[in-house]
Structure 1
Amino acid sequence: MSQDSPSQQISPSPSPQPTPPKGMSVPVVLIASCFVLAFMGWAMRLGYPGAVLGLGALAGCIAVFRKKDSKHRSAAVIGAIASVFVFIGAIGNGNESSRKAAAMAASIEDARQKAEASRAHEEDMSERIAALATSSPPQEAVDLCNSFGDLRDIPEKSRARCGEAYLAKGRELLASAKAGDAVPLLERASSLAPGNADVATTLSSARELQGKEDFKTQGPEVSAKLARALAHAKAKEWEEAESELNAADATLKRFDGLEVAKSKEWNTLAGQAAQQRKRIQPKLEKLQLQREAQKLMVEMRGEKPVNSPWDGSVPEVELYLKKVMNDPDSYEHVSSSAPVARDAFWIVKSSFRGKNAFGGKILNTRYFFIQQGQVVRVAEE
């Protein structure tokens, strides 16, 4: 009789666990954040319309937060905060834009008013100039023309009349022997009518007369400058003499092209100035060469050596001696003078002790010539 085998107990297989939902990946979160920030910036730049969008977003976030069993309250809080930022930023940008727009409008209006005022003034002056009779005093027309300021601002239709007024007033002053006052007016007339031969002739006559009047006062001044130049030259003050001669030449040059420059007095002064300049020129050239040589020597010397605040030694000298001494360790500084500039060198007199070739310690005094921070020559006392 066969024995039945015990039945094997089979355990039930475990049921599969549900897979938890995966959250958003990091790149997705970053991209979404960038879009949100970009939207916030765009909304804030809109100004007041952006503020309306911010309020709408805030209302939506509040509605989500107040919803029962809402699973997105954290997101609603973050959205509400972002909406508040958008609202505040948009209001600020809106106010700033309004201020800029108002300022621009005010500036445009101010420019328009100034342009209108300028045109009105121009029209008024032009009409008044045109209404003046030919027999009117020229000063009245000159005053009206001067009210434009610059000649370029005189309207085209008034330029001829203003030119005539300046010419008439210039002639009037010229007849009164007031060439200095006539020349500026005639120059304005010449600018308004450059091809007018009558204006050119009158202006030339006025300049000649003014030149004669000016030379009466400036001629003696030139003589005084030449006398001072001669005194400086005798005292070997060459640069002061040159300065006086330059001033005299500049005064004489103002009369070039005028009849005064052909007069005996002018030529005498010009000849004296040339003669004095010829006399001092070699001295000036020599002085210039000396200065250039001095400048070169300063560059060759280099910076001035400095005595040590501890023992008065000069580092350049000490470094040199320790390189050339028989026993550098035996160097002992005694005294050093302050560096003195001479030609292309800094010269230092220094006394020191050191062992000689026989081992004896002796006292030495030498003159050290230094250039560019190095001893280049040594001389005995």
Structure 2
Amino acid sequence: MYYSYCFATALLIIATLVPLIRHDSWVFRVFEYPRLQKLTLNVLLLAAGLIFYAHTTTNWVFIVLLTLNLAYLIYQVFPFTRFGKQQIIKSRFPSGDKNISLLIANVYQDNKNSKAYLNLITECDADVILMVETNLWWQQQIDVIGERYPHQLKIPLENTYGMIFYSKLELKDGSINYLVEEDIPSIEVDVQLRSGQWVKLYCLHPQPPVPQENPRSTERDKEILMVAKKAKECKLPVIVMGDLNDVAWSYTTQLFGKVSGLLDPRRGRGFFNSFNAKYFFLRFPLDHIFCSANFTLTGINRMQSCGSDHFPMCVNLQFDPPADELNEEPEADREDLELANEKINAAT
């Protein structure tokens, strides 16, 4: 039993350190995901070591290593707990014509519970809806909301990377782009708030770095960072939303925040793990809504499961230009920009 404990401890510490290797192979990137799971296992192993093996002199090496590992994991997780500093402040004014509510839902293409999503759309009553993994069948099921959401962009695909986009708010300059891969679309569009203010919106769903999809993160990272640069150069307020197939704390998502200057409403409020809805012990924050520093947060909610492996996310933002002095806008240094350019220019 003691040898099993030692083996589990060694594996855990390796799993914690592997993401420090900045390699695009899925073998390294996949270990970025289960940070909470590693922290929980660390606590259990440390408790087991103190209770059952404290009398063993050699085991104190493992106890020290587990204590250091736990401290490192807590340091990584802390910004996304309610004790961390909020990156975007709470809205200072009642909801009004400067607000925009957004719903992001990965429906899981083979899921046929469209009725649950129609009920969700009614419940959330968002201004903008992005649904991904949508094929023609899903488009036909959801199109019944067209009267309420007259402004639309649709790319139904059978490869699990289709998108359908609905808006109550007026749109202009909408485009469907294939930034990195010819069969992975993204959306870029201007949305007009009820106040008349225009907002640039980017919608993404890049491939995850897993063997059955793509054995490396190169293409995903490239697309995410290309949008980060676009967001930074944009003169309008910016919102980025989608299933990024990357956790909120990965080095790529952190780099995205620095390069784009966009804010993560999760920080200081909770994890809002959106995947996997089917297994409570394997949940990560994969579905994101980021915004520029001239927004404040009116509300963020993880909605109920609708039969997919993802929980939908609903976020309500308020355009408030003076807030950019109060929000904690991330900034990129020269090393960050060099790394981003290296990834954007990587061969695919």
Q: Which interval holds the TM-score relative to the shorter structure? A: under 0.3
Report which of the two structures shows the higher radius of gyration computed on alpha carbons: 1
Instruction: State the TM-score, normalized to the length of structure 1.
Output: 0.24
Instruction: State the TM-score, normalized to the length of structure 2.
Output: 0.26
More strand by share: 2
